[in-house]
């Protein structure tokens, strides 16, 4: 499995200590857009009681959202940014947050979520992203939820990578016949959910 790291932009280590609000630390446009992504995943898979792996967990805000929704999960967050993990650990003492790469071997979980992991331009984009998704699906007993920036977005940041929804759905269907796409929660973002069965 590929251990390709996320490129160095955005500067998450710097943002972790520079910004006081979660949505700014994680590079989201607003708290509402951050929550919209989380709620899309929570609507795609019932997470209560599940073992959840949050890849690219940032400062732990998805865990906070699960708490606010009174969802009890066996949660583990990983991020390649040491600074983000330190912020997450200070926000939520006793919760499992650790430094790690997207493609590293992990214990099997029920659901893997990845918010914003696919928006970074990188060499051989499809090889890396499809490798990650296949790896995550192989280690998830129920589903994998991955967000993408949409090529249908009317405004696009040239530093980020945008994907055609139909292309992403084709990628998903190449990995499992059980895939759904939700483009109904934000104009610039969509959720691809890959189910094991």
DSSP state, 187? T
Which of 7-21, 27-41, 147-161 is most confident? 147-161
Domain ranges of the chain: 28-195
Contacts of residues 24-30 at CB distance under 8 Å and 24 or more positions apart, as own/partner, are: 25/58, 25/59, 25/84, 25/87, 26/58, 26/59, 26/61, 26/116, 27/116, 28/116
pLDDT-derived band of residue 34, with 50, 70 and 90 as boundaries?
A: confident
Answer yes or no: is pLDDT of 167 > 70.
yes
* Proportion of the chain above pLDDT 90, given as a percent: 66
pLDDT-derived band of residue 30, with 50, 70 and 90 as boundaries?
A: low
**CATH fourth-level superfamily of 28-195:** Vaccinia Virus protein VP39 (3.40.50.150)
CB neighbours of residue 177 within 10 Å: 10
Q: What is the pLDDT of residue 1?
A: 47
pLDDT-derived band of residue 35, with 50, 70 and 90 as boundaries?
A: confident
SS3 174: helix
């Amino acid at each position: 499995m590929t251990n390709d790291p996320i490129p160095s932009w955005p500067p998450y280590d710097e943002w972790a200590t520079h910004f006081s609000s979660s949505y700014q630390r994680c590079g989201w446009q607003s708290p509402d857009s951050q929550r919209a992504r989380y709620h899309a995943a929570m609507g795609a898979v019932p997470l209560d009681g599940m073992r959840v792996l949050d890849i690219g967990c940032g400062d732990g805000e998805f865990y906070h959202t699960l708490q606010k929704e009174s969802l009890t999960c066996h949660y583990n967050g990983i991020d390649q940014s040491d600074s983000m993990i330190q912020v997450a650990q200070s926000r939520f003492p006793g919760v499992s947050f650790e430094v790690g790469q997207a493609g590293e071997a992990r214990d099997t979980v029920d659901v893997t979520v990845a918010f914003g992991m696919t928006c970074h331009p990188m060499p051989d984009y499809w090889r890396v992203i499809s490798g990650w998704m296949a790896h995550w699906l192989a280690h998830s007993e129920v589903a994998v939820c991955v967000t993408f920036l949409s090529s249908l977005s009317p405004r696009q940041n040239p530093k980020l990578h945008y994907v055609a929804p139909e292309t992403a759905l084709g990628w998903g269907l190449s990995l499992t016949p059980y895939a759904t796409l939700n483009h109904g929660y934000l104009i610039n973002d969509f959720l691809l959910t890959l189910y094991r069965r």
